Amino acid sequence: MLRRSKGNQSLLTKPNFIRRLDGTIGTALIQEICPLANDWSIWSYKPFCIGPAEGEDETGPADCVFTLTAFRGNQGISLITTPDLAASAATHLDDSRVPRELRHQLVDTKHQEVEGTAYEIKDLPGRGKGAIAKRKFAEHEIVMVGYPVLVIRLDFLNGDRLTEREKRVMLETSVRQLPPEQKRSVMSLARSTGGEPILDAIRTNGFGIEIDGIQHLAVFLDGSRVNHNCRPNSFWRYISSSMAMEVVALRDIRPGEEIVHSYAPLGYTYEERKAVLQAWGFQCRCALCSASIEERNLSDRRRERLLEIHHILGQADLLGSKRVGALIIEAMGLIDQEELHPQLVEYYQQFAKAYMALSDLKRARAFVTETDKMWSLYGGEEHENLDGMRDLWRALEEAEGEAEEVEDF
Ligand SMILES: [Zn+2]
């Protein structure tokens, strides 16, 4: 966690700490040459950077504020990240990246009521705001597509390269440079941790995304209004090529139903979920958490058993084909009962590996194929998914190659 800054003293009282690229704060400031200094033409403002205090360690990348107000139909985006990562992200900012069928959502967001939006953001009694379905959604249908207004490198927030006050100036700049409507929306987001409002809003509403494999927190305005439920009716996936957060129906959703997804990893037991959700400062009162102790314990036992099967299958070579088959059927039943279908990504992969260990390559190939399908359905386009999938295919193809050689022999 971040150390929180004390008091309201502005960073600007220490101008010798600031090296701002455009030098507008004062001539006493030293200008630093940013790697993008000659090519910041795509951004709406010159990148705003703060260097470390004199005499301090200058290793590690320096973060700057990059803003593009025309991003996604004038929604706007501000990034606090390194110039290299900003240059990489810049390739995803063009609206031509957005699939044709989703472009109608890219209207000028000044007209809040977007034509065709199939959900509405409503005040819920005693629970802040929430997203309510305006029509029926079928399983796996996209309910909501959103693009981030803020993207902040995690190490900028957690590191101590800059003081808390310097971080605050960077964060304030990133929000100030957004179009007015989005700036207001960021300031009205739910908060939970106390302290600096912008930092609190980012920690409370940020989703983990990656740019070139580096962790960032991204704030999606409507996406932030999707509340938590331990047995959700939707899940979210991130499409890195267009920077889209897609909220997708996990099952059929009725009109008037609240759209909810899980802030905690799926498959956790009651106590594990409780511990994770403390970070958001609330105690979950969903149907699963407020069920009778017997019912809750039964759910916990199923979840523990599922995890146990995952571990056992790690040693499939000691089990034999019949036992592996029985465990897979049991696991599939548990996933259905607990409605943990996004975990199929993880389980199909484990099933594939188990059959590879048993040299049952026909079944292994069937589960690798299924894993691939589940990744694109539930996982989206994150790098780690793609890498894991490539490794799995490679392992299968190597095993198949070896099997062929043995046959030829
Ligand atoms: Zn719950």
- 205 CA to centre of ligand 1 in angstroms: 18
Distance CA 374, CA 40 (A): 39
- 288 CA to centre of ligand 1 in angstroms: 5
| Assigned domain for 272 exists | no
- Asked if 223 and 311 sit in the same domain, the reply is no
- 190 CA to centre of ligand 1 in angstroms: 19
Nearest to 212 by CA among 106, 79, 96: 79
Residue 58's φ and ψ, nearest 5 degrees, are -105, 15
- Asked if 254 and 331 sit in the same domain, the reply is no
Distance CA 151, CA 208 (A): 9
Domain count, the chain: 2
pLDDT surpasses 80 at 14: no
- Asked if 241 and 328 sit in the same domain, the reply is no
- Asked if 257 and 305 sit in the same domain, the reply is no
Digit-coded pLDDT (tens) for 191-230: 887 888 999 999 888 988 989 889 999 999 989 999 999 9
- 363 CA to centre of ligand 1 in angstroms: 36
| Assigned domain for 273 exists | no
- 269 CA to centre of ligand 1 in angstroms: 10
The pLDDT of residue 297:
97
Distance CA 99, CA 247 (A): 16
| Assigned domain for 279 exists | no
- Asked if 302 and 254 sit in the same domain, the reply is no
- For residue 126, what is the domain's CATH number? 2.170.270.10
- Asked if 349 and 250 sit in the same domain, the reply is no
Domain hosting 151: range is 11-261
Lowest-confidence range among 102-106, 155-159, 314-318, 370-374? 102-106
Nearest to 34 by CA among 15, 55, 19, 44: 19
DSSP 3-state assignment of 341? Answer: helix
- Asked if 219 and 349 sit in the same domain, the reply is no
DSSP 3-state assignment of 99? Answer: coil
- Asked if 201 and 243 sit in the same domain, the reply is yes
| Assigned domain for 281 exists | no
Digit-coded pLDDT (tens) for 370-387: 999 998 888 777 656 677
| Assigned domain for 266 exists | no
| Assigned domain for 228 exists | yes
Question: Of 261, 281, 310, which residue constitutes the final position of a domain?
Answer: 261
- 248 CA to centre of ligand 1 in angstroms: 19
- 290 CA to centre of ligand 1 in angstroms: 7
- 124 CA to centre of ligand 1 in angstroms: 17
- The answer for residues whose C-beta is within 8 angstroms of residue 324's C-beta and 6 or more apart is 313, 316, 354, 355, 358
- Asked if 233 and 327 sit in the same domain, the reply is no
CA-to-CA separations, 272 to 239, 289, 333, in angstroms, rounded: 28, 12, 22
Distance CA 107, CA 202 (A): 25
Question: Of 261, 283, 306, which residue constitutes the final position of a domain?
Answer: 261
Question: Of 221, 239, 261, which residue constitutes the final position of a domain?
Answer: 261
- Asked if 67 and 152 sit in the same domain, the reply is yes
- Asked if 202 and 112 sit in the same domain, the reply is yes
- 314 CA to centre of ligand 1 in angstroms: 30
| Assigned domain for 280 exists | no
Digit-coded pLDDT (tens) for 389-406: 899 999 999 999 998 887
The pLDDT of residue 227:
92
Work out the average pLDDT over 342-349: 93
pLDDT surpasses 70 at 13: no
Q: How many CB atoms lie within 10 A of CB 118?
A: 17
- 125 CA to centre of ligand 1 in angstroms: 18
- 262 CA to centre of ligand 1 in angstroms: 9
- 229 CA to centre of ligand 1 in angstroms: 5
* Full-model pTM: 0.79
- Asked if 213 and 312 sit in the same domain, the reply is no
Q: What angle do CA 41, 43, 48 make, to 5 degrees?
A: 110
Residue 162 tokens, joined: 């800059």
- 349 CA to centre of ligand 1 in angstroms: 27
Mean pLDDT, the chain, as a whole number?
A: 83
| Assigned domain for 269 exists | no
